Chains A and B, each alone.
Chain A
């Protein structure tokens, strides 16, 4: 008997990446709950173990969306547009998670869920920008024009990232400065807490890479289906 061979939906690299992300995340969660309470924040510091990772991956995803947008404008290949959109979508999901985590941390720390201080305001602008990016994509029907307009938006969007990151230094307000200070290359954390945060950060990065691969593949299959319907 002859069976038609269907292409594998999940390639080997994506499967391993996803499995590795789950394992590293499990280790990160164990370390996060094993780490001692902070001298000032107490157990509330546990929020930072995932909040910092989510924020970092949102930045990374928007940056990767910009790189694929540049590649699209250069090579004019639709795959780059799909990967740019995939990365932007994942960035937006993690940005929303960052905002939620921040609000849950702010309520017991500052007594309020939200305040229009510089870091929160620039985070809201960054989020709103990428909501606008997807509205733009949905508003344009012509695939080529949509890809070009979205690429321009994805390139423009990354301007918000350094402003958002530096906002805690440029306009000192109630939000604490970076937990891991990339500019002065120092951290304010106990080594045990730092390891817990970095392992969770690594896990969320692995999820991001796996998500971009899966979402890119999904978008390619959807585009192929649309082409079949149009014929």
Chain B
């Protein structure tokens, strides 16, 4: 398969990885801020 064809799969994996590490970090910080505001 050509490098261009492989790019779609590689990009999908890296986008998913960034979504997990940065998205989950942001989610936890947001939840902490929210629940901390209620305290």
| Least distance between B1 CB and chain A CB atoms (Å) | 5
Query: Do B10 and A46 have beta carbons less than 8 Å apart?
Result: yes
In whole angstroms, how far apart are the Cα atoms of A50 and B17 in the complex? 7
Q: Is A170 an interface residue (CB 8 A)?
A: no
CA distance A222 to B32 in the complex (A): 9
Contact (Cβ within 8 A) B29 A50? no
- A-B CB pair tally, cutoff 8 Å: 84
Q: Are B20 and A97 in contact (CB under 8 A)?
A: yes
Residues of A close to B33: CB separation below 8 A: 9
> How far apart are B13's CB and chain A's nearest CB, in angstroms?
5
- Quote the shortest CB–CB distance from B5 to chain A (angstroms): 7
Do A104 and B32 form a contact, CB below 8 Å, given A93-B20, A94-B20, A204-B21? Answer: no
A contact face: mostly helix, strand, loop, or mixed: helix
Contact: A9 with B32, CB < 8 Å? yes
Taking the closest CB of chain B, its distance from the CB of A54, in whole angstroms, is 7
Cβ contact within 8 Å between B10 and A211: no
Least CB distance, B26 to chain A, in whole angstroms: 11
For the complex formed, measure the closest distance between the CB of B12 and the CB atoms of chain A, giving whole angstroms.
5
**A54 neighbours in B (Cβ, 8 Å):** 17, 20
* Interface size, chain A (Cβ < 8 Å): 37
* A88-115 interface bits toward B, Cβ cutoff 8 Å, 1 = contact, 0 = none: 0010011001001100110110000000
Contact of B20 with A108 in the complex, beta carbons under 8 Å: no
Docked-complex contact B39 and A104, CB < 8 angstroms: no
In the complex, the answer to whether A47 meets B13 with C-beta atoms within 8 Å is yes
Q: Which residues of B contact A25 (CB under 8 A)?
A: 21
Q: Give A194 to B25 CA distance when docked, in angstroms.
A: 27
Give complex CA distance A107, B39 in Å: 49
Inside 8 A of A104's CB, which chain B residues have their CB?
A: 9-10, 12-13
- In addition to A9-B36, A18-B25, 4 A-B residue pairs with Cβ atoms within 8 Å of each other are A43-B7, A44-B9, A211-B28, A221-B35
Binding site for B on A (CB under 8 A): 6-7, 9-10, 18, 21, 25, 42-44, 46-47, 50-51, 54, 90, 93-94, 97, 100-101, 104-105, 107-108, 204, 207, 210-211, 214-215, 217-218, 221-222, 224-225
